[in-house]
Amino acid sequence: MDKLKFWQLIKPFRYLIIGAILSLVIFTNLGLVMPLMLKVIIDRVLVNNQLNFVFIILVTILLIYTIREIFFYVSRYMIFYISQRILFNVRTKLFRHLQNLSLQFYEEYRTGKLISNIITDVAALQQMVSASMVNLAVNLLMIVFIVGVLFVMNPILALISLVLIPLQLANFMYFRTKIKRGWMDLREKMSEISANLAETLNGVRVVKSFAKERTETRNFVSNLRPAMDVSMDVNMKGVFQWMICEAVNIICLSATIGLGSYMVLKNKMTIGSFVAFYTYLGMLINPIVQLSNLITIISQGMGSASRIIKLLDTIPDIRECENPIKLKTLKGNIKFKNVNFGYSGKTVVKDFTLDIKTGKKVALVGPSGSGKSTIANLILRFYDIKSGKILVDNHDLRQLGIESYRNHVGIVLQEAFLFSGTIAENISYGAKREVTREEIEQAGHKANLHEFIGNLENGYDTEIGENGTSLSGGQKQRVAIARAILRDPKILILDEATSALDTISEFLVQEALDNLMKDRTTIIIAHRLSTIKNADMIVVMEAGEIKQTGSHDDLIKEDGIYCRMYQSQEKYHSENIAEKDDETAEEADKPELPAEPNDFDGIPDCPAA
Ligand code: ADP
C-alpha cells in the first residue's frame, strides 16, 4: 500500500501521536515495578525479617500505580481522539469524493458492493487505527522492557527462556499469510453477498411478482455457504495458531522453572529474583498473544486502507477546468454544434446540431434508445462529449464551474426520487439558499400539491418514508415539481415526467409542469406526443441523429416519422376509448388491448402527406 498516502492521513496528528506514545512508555514502564517489589519483599522483608520496610513498599506501590492510572487515562484519551479524528477525515474525504465521481463510475461499480466495501473498509481501518496504536505500542514496549529486565536479572536464564520469542514469531509468520488470504477472500465474498442483497431488496417487487422468492433464497444460500466455509477455515487457523503459541509457552516456562530452581538451590540466584523472574516471564505471554491478534487486524486494516486510498485516487471523469467561469445568472441558451458522443466506445449521438433558444420549450421525441436522455445527460454535463461543442450562453460547457452551472439547471424525471424525511424537507432539498415555510408552501401550491397536503394530518411535516413509499406516483412527481419550482432553474429538463402516470394524475402533474415551465428554457423528453403539441420546437431523433425539426403543426404535414407516430398514437387512444365504452355494454369476451405504440417500428406509412 502506498505508504506516502497513509502518512498523509496521519501527518496532521504527528505531535499528538508522539505525545500518546510517550505517555504509553511511561504507563508501560510503571507497570513493570510489581515483580521488583515482590523481589524486595521476599529477599529483604521475609528473609531478613524487616517488617518496617513493608510500609514503605506499599506506599511506593500505591504512588506508582496512581501515576500509572493518570498516564493510562491520558494515553487512551489521546489515542482514541487521534483515531476518531483520522476516521472522521477519511469518511468526510470519501463522501465528498464519491459525490464528485461521475455517473459513469457508478454504472461500472455496483452500488451495493461499493457501500459494503466502504462500510467494512472504514470499520477495518477504524479497528486497525485504534487497536494497533494502543496495542502495538504497548505490547512492543512491554516485550522490549521485560526482555531488558530479564537480561539484567539473570542473563543465562533469560537466554534460555527467551527461546520462546523466535519460536512464537515463526508460529505467527507461518499463519499470518494464510489468515490474511482467508480474510481477503471472505471480504470479497461478503461484499458480493451484500451487493446481491441490496439488489434483491431494491427489486423486491419484481422478485415477488415473478414468484422468484425461492430462487432468490437459493441463490443467496449458495453464495452464503462458501463464505461460511472460508470463515470457519480462517477462524480455525487462528485457533491452531493459538494452540501452538500456548504449547511453546508451557515448554519454555517449564524449562525456566526447572533451571531456576536448580540455580536457587545452588545459591546462584535468590528466591526473590527467581519469583520476580518468573513473574516477568509470565507477563511476556499476554503481549505476544495480543501482538498475534494484531497481525490479523493490521493486515485487514492495511488491505482496507489501500482500497480506500485507491477509491480516493479514482480521478473524477468530469473535471472542472483550471479557471472555471462561475455564472451568477444564466439566460438559458443552449447550442449543440456537431456533437458526437458514445458510452464506452459505442456511438450514441451523431453530429448533433441544435440551437435551443432562451425561454423556449423544445421537445425531443423518437424511439426508445434514440439518444434523448443522453442529450439531457450531456446538457447536465454528466458526461463529456467526444467531439463538437456544447455552448451555454455562448460559453463552452466545459469552461463553466460545474456546481454553479448545475445550480441553474433543474430536472424532473419519470420516477421522482425522494429522500426519507418530511414533504417540506424534500421540497426544499434543491433550493439554493435557506427557504421559508411560506416559499415551500407557495411551491407546493404551484405544483398542485396544496389540496392533497391539506388533507394530511401533519401537512407539510408528514414523513414520507424511504423514497416516498407512502405517496402515489403522481404525488411524488408533484413533490419533485415543487422542488424544481423552488430551485427556480433557468434550464429545465423534463425526462418522461408524465409517462408513468394515469390520466387524472397526468392532468394534475401537467398543470403543475405548465406552472414550472414558465419563463425557462425547457427540454421535454416525451413519448406521448399529445403532451408536447404546443412545444416551440419538436426535435425528432432516430439512432442518435436529428431526423426532423419544427412545430407540431409543421411536422404533422410532413411525411415523416413524427406524423406516423402521432397518427398511430391517436389511433391507439381512440380505439382504447371505444374499447372502454364497449366494455360497459358487453362484459364477456374482452379482446386484449394492443400495447400502446411508443416506438416507431412497424408503423404504416403516413397517408396525410
Ligand atoms: P432514449 O432516451 O432515447 O431512450 P438513451 O439516450 O437512453 O435513449 O439511450 C441511447 C443509447 O445509449 C441506447 O442504445 C442505450 O442502450 C445506450 N445507453 C444509454 N445509457 C447508457 C449508459 N449509461 N451506458 C451505456 N450505454 C447507454
Higher per-residue confidence, 589 vs 366: 366
Nearest CA to ligand 1 atom 26: 343
Separation of 115 CA from ligand 1 center, angstroms? 25
Nearest CA to ligand 1 atom 22: 343
Nearest CA to ligand 1 atom 6: 371
293-324, pLDDT tens digit by residue?
777 677 778 878 887 887 777 777 777 888 88
Nearest CA to ligand 1 atom 12: 348
Separation of 602 CA from ligand 1 center, angstroms? 21
197 with 220: CB under 8 angstroms? yes
| Nearest ligand 1 atom to alpha carbon 364 | 3
Separation of 374 CA from ligand 1 center, angstroms? 6
pLDDT at 585: 45
Nearest CA to ligand 1 atom 24: 343
Q: Is the pLDDT of residue 108 over 70?
A: no
The contacts of residue 169 (CB under 8 Å, 6+ apart) are none
pLDDT at 65: 93
What are the backbone angles phi and psi of residue 473, rounded to the nearest 5°?
-55, -45
Residues with CB under 6 A from ligand 1: 107, 343, 348, 366, 368-374
Q: Are strands 409-412 and 491-495 parallel, antiparallel or unpaired?
A: parallel
Q: Is the pLDDT of residue 110 over 70?
A: no
Separation of 346 CA from ligand 1 center, angstroms? 10
366-394, pLDDT tens digit by residue?
988 899 989 998 998 988 899 999 999 99
Query: What span, in angstroms and rounded, lies between the C-alpha atoms of 454 and 444?
Result: 11
308 with 90: CB under 8 angstroms? yes
| Nearest ligand 1 atom to alpha carbon 349 | 10
Query: What span, in angstroms and rounded, lies between the C-alpha atoms of 542 and 352?
Result: 11
Query: What span, in angstroms and rounded, lies between the C-alpha atoms of 482 and 484?
Result: 5
Instruction: Give, in order, the Cα–Cα distances in Å from 193 to each of 110, 217, 303, 305, 308.
Output: 12, 12, 19, 21, 20
Sign of CA dihedral 387, 391, 396, 397: negative
pLDDT at 24: 84
Question: In this structure, what C-alpha cell is assigned to residue 334?
Answer: 443552449
Q: Tell me the β-bridge partners of 335.
A: 355, 391
Under the banding of pLDDT at 50, 70 and 90, the label for residue 237 is: very high
Which one, of 32, 23, 116, lies nearest residue 74 by Cα? Answer: 23
500-535, pLDDT tens digit by residue?
666 667 777 888 888 888 889 999 998 888 888 889
594 with 572: CB under 8 angstroms? yes
pLDDT at 603: 43
Does the pTM exceed 0.85? no
Under the banding of pLDDT at 50, 70 and 90, the label for residue 599 is: very low
Separation of 14 CA from ligand 1 center, angstroms? 50
Instruction: Give, in order, the Cα–Cα distances in Å from 540 to each of 268, 373, 534, 597.
Output: 103, 13, 15, 16
- With the most atoms of ligand 1 within 8 angstroms of its CB, the residue from 374, 386, 542 to mutate is 374
DSSP string, 390-432: EEETTEEGGGB-HHHHHTTEEEE-SS----SSBHHHHHHTT-S
| Nearest ligand 1 atom to alpha carbon 544 | 10
540-569, pLDDT tens digit by residue?
999 999 999 999 999 888 888 888 888 888
Nearest CA to ligand 1 atom 11: 369
Nearest CA to ligand 1 atom 25: 343
Which one, of 429, 481, 433, 427, lies nearest residue 459 by Cα? Answer: 427
Query: What span, in angstroms and rounded, lies between the C-alpha atoms of 26 and 64?
Result: 11
